[in-house]
Amino acid sequence: MRLTQFTDNALRCLTFLALSADELNTAREIAQRMGMSADHLVKVVQRLTQLGYVETIRGWKGGVRLAQPPESIVVGEVVRQTEQSFALVACFETGDGGCPIAPACGLAPALDEALQAFLAVLDRYTLADLTRERRRLRDLIAD
Amino acid sequence: MRLTQFTDNALRCLTFLALSADELNTAREIAQRMGMSADHLVKVVQRLTQLGYVETIRGWKGGVRLAQPPESIVVGEVVRQTEQSFALVACFETGDGGCPIAPACGLAPALDEALQAFLAVLDRYTLADLTRERRRLRDLIAD
């Protein structure tokens, strides 16, 4: 069981920006310092901008920063918004992958309840909670 | 976010066997009636046999059946045993995919707490709970 790389990179990017406070970093710099592909990160920054988590300052000294305080960015919400699908199994797919008993099977409702419990835990965490060890984290991303 | 196809097929196979009670079915029959690949299902049956959920009766009228009553097969346990990895993000990978701030970041503990909540819900369901609509389910898998 795994989140998509997109969600992983989105959380990693937001965490980096929370540690950078008002400093501006380009997507390339963030990618380099956080061990991500720059191409992936450009798409992640675009999506996080659409979602209102990130803002881009243009110009030769420009870059990216958080558009909200870390205390107001809820991890569960970010995961809901960046994860493409929460179809944990192929139950409701049609065609070859589809399961003939899906209409009456108790698995999908049980998995949905489990998923809601998963997300409810992440709703209790903000970006500020992920970056409590601020000094140690900043040392880890220092050049 | 998705479970592996292996776990999906394992749950689907167990559900079929719960509906079949003491009838014996070959892996090929189960695969055909549940819309799965026969090759995948042979591996799934091997693993479910190792885990003690399934037993194989040999001979020309042989086949596969549950080795335990559906009431004693806990969905959360099956998922724990069949899912290869619960590394929801690449936090702790080393090399290119690894995240430099993993040692001090709050994401991994938050995700672990969320995962435990997910599995705790599935621990409240048995295979018997998934097959409550027995008559309708049996109609759906009828030849």
> What count of CB pairs under 8 Å joins A to B?
154
**d(Cα A41, Cα A27) in Å, to the nearest integer?**
6
Q: Which residues of B touch A111 (CB under 8 A)?
A: 122
* Residue from A80, A88, A107 to probe the interface with B (highest B Cβ count within 10 Å): A107
Q: How confident is the model over A2-27, as a mean pLDDT?
A: 91
> Kind and range of the H or E element at B46?
helix B38-50
A32-58 residue pLDDT tens: 888 888 999 999 999 999 999 999 999
Could you count the other beta carbons within 10 Å of the beta carbon of residue B92? 12
Among the partner residues A85, A111, A140, nearest to B100 by beta-carbon distance? A140
pTM score of the predicted model: 0.91
B119-141 residue pLDDT tens: 999 999 999 999 998 888 888 88
Q: How far is CA B82 from CA A10, A65, B43, in A?
A: 28, 41, 11
**Surface-to-core class of residue B60, CB atoms within 10 Å of its CB (0-12 exposed, 13-18 middle, 19+ buried):** exposed
> Closest Cα of chain A to B34: distance in Å?
6
DSSP E strand boundaries for chain B: 54-57, 63-66
- Which of A123-127, B7-11, B49-53 is the least confident region? B7-11
**d(Cα A79, Cα A85) in Å, to the nearest integer?**
10
CATH number of A5-85+126-140: 1.10.10.10
Nearest of A115, A106, A119 to residue A88 by alpha carbon: A115
The residue of chain B nearest to residue A107, with distances taken between CA atoms, is: B130
Q: Is the confidence at residue B107, as pLDDT, over 60?
A: yes
Could you count the other beta carbons within 10 Å of the beta carbon of residue A110? 19
Query: What distance, in Å, lies between the first and last C-alpha atoms of chain A?
Result: 33
Q: Is the confidence at residue A96, as pLDDT, over 60?
A: no
Contact call for B3 and A75, based on CB within 8 A = no
Contact call for residues A36 and B95 (beta carbons, < 8 A): no
The alpha carbon of residue A117 and the mean position of all alpha carbons in its chain are separated, in whole angstroms, by 18
Nearest of B128, B27, B130, B138 to residue B68 by alpha carbon: B128
Contact call for residues A62 and A114 (beta carbons, < 8 A): no
Nearest of A117, A50, A27, A25 to residue B76 by alpha carbon: A117
Chain A from 7 to 46: CB within 8 A of any B CB: 7-8, 11-12, 15-16, 19, 33-35
Nearest of B51, B50, B27, B54 to residue B39 by alpha carbon: B27
Quickly list H helices, A1-143: 5-20, 27-34, 38-50, 75-82, 107-122, 127-130, 134-140
Query: Tokens 């809901």 label which residue?
Result: A80
Among the partner residues B110, B118, B137, nearest to A105 by beta-carbon distance? B137
Among the partner residues B75, B90, B105, nearest to A110 by beta-carbon distance? B75
Contact call for A100 and B33, based on CB within 8 A = yes
> Closest Cα of chain A to B98: distance in Å?
6
Could you count the other beta carbons within 10 Å of the beta carbon of residue B69? 11
List CB contacts of A46: < 8 A, sequence separation 6 or more.
none
Q: Predicted ipTM?
A: 0.91
B29-44 residue pLDDT tens: 899 888 888 999 999 9
